[in-house]
Structure 1
Amino acid sequence: MSATERRRIARRCPAALAAERLRIGLEHCSVSADVHEGYGVALVSVWADLLVWTDGFVYRWWTGKVSERTGRRLYTAYGVDNPVTAARCVAHRYRELRKTSPRSDDVAERAS
């Protein structure tokens, strides 16, 4: 890695660094993802209904469940200190979603 690349990475916000670590963890689980950052938060886009966001302290994403009591979506959270475990959990959710929410032909065409 060049000195310029090291400086560029060092300037990124904590959320962006945490998101990038999660993306790399997902890659090791054979799951592709994109990182988007701005305004002190970062998003890891994995699949339809699977978007992980982080503030640099915690990863959060929708579990796919809704509270019976409130009718609101239930989210899970993992500390960014263990991106490998978080990546395994996100990969598990990704595989659940792939079974029930296959990509549309348009999205599949663009991804190939």
Structure 2
Amino acid sequence: MALDRHEIPADVHAGHGLALVSVWVGLVVWCDGERFWWRTGWDDRRQRFTYAWHPAVDPARAARRVAFRYGDLRRKHAHPEENTS
């Protein structure tokens, strides 16, 4: 999996024509064979989630973008045992 290159553990599940990759709390990546997409935030004005997407033909670059999002979320929501410094 492309996320392995970024040393990001993930669980992959498939069914109903979709692959779902559980990466971190609040970071799930879906793929329908044409594109990957994941939540990037919340739009207060529209009261809905915002998403990023990337073409499925370029999984390495999609993984890089997901890795950036993963890093952001880890910094914001680290496990309590990781906050010992």
**TM-score bin (small chain):** 0.7 to 0.9
Unaligned runs of 5+ in 2: none
Tell me what 1:20 maps to.
Answer: none
- Alignment root-mean-square deviation, CA: 1.6
Post-superposition, which runs of at least 4 consecutive aligned residues in structure 1 deviate over 4 A? none
Please give the secondary structure, in 2, of the residue aligned with 1:53.
Answer: strand
Between the aligned partners of 1:68 and 1:40, the Cα distance in structure 2 is 31
User: 1:83 and 2:59 equivalent?
Assistant: yes
What whole-Å deviation, never above 9, does each CA across 1:8-59 have from its counterpart, x for those lacking one? xxxxxxxxxxxxxxxx111001111111001111101100000000111110
User: 1:100 and 2:70 equivalent?
Assistant: no
Please give the secondary structure, in 2, of the residue aligned with 1:27.
Answer: helix
Between the aligned partners of 1:81 and 1:102, the Cα distance in structure 2 is 32
- Give the Å deviation of 1:103: 3.2
Tell me what 2:38 maps to.
Answer: 61
Bigger CA radius of gyration: 1
Please give the secondary structure, in 2, of the residue aligned with 1:62.
Answer: strand
TM-score (norm 1): 0.68
Please give the secondary structure, in 1, of the residue aligned with 2:53.
Answer: strand
Aligned sequence identity (%):
41
Letter paired with 2:58: N
Tell me what 2:16 maps to.
Answer: 39
Between the aligned partners of 1:103 and 1:58, the Cα distance in structure 2 is 30
Higher helix share: 1
Letter paired with 1:94: Y
User: 1:71 and 2:59 equivalent?
Assistant: no
Unaligned runs of 5+ in 1: 1-23, 106-112
Between the aligned partners of 1:91 and 1:70, the Cα distance in structure 2 is 27
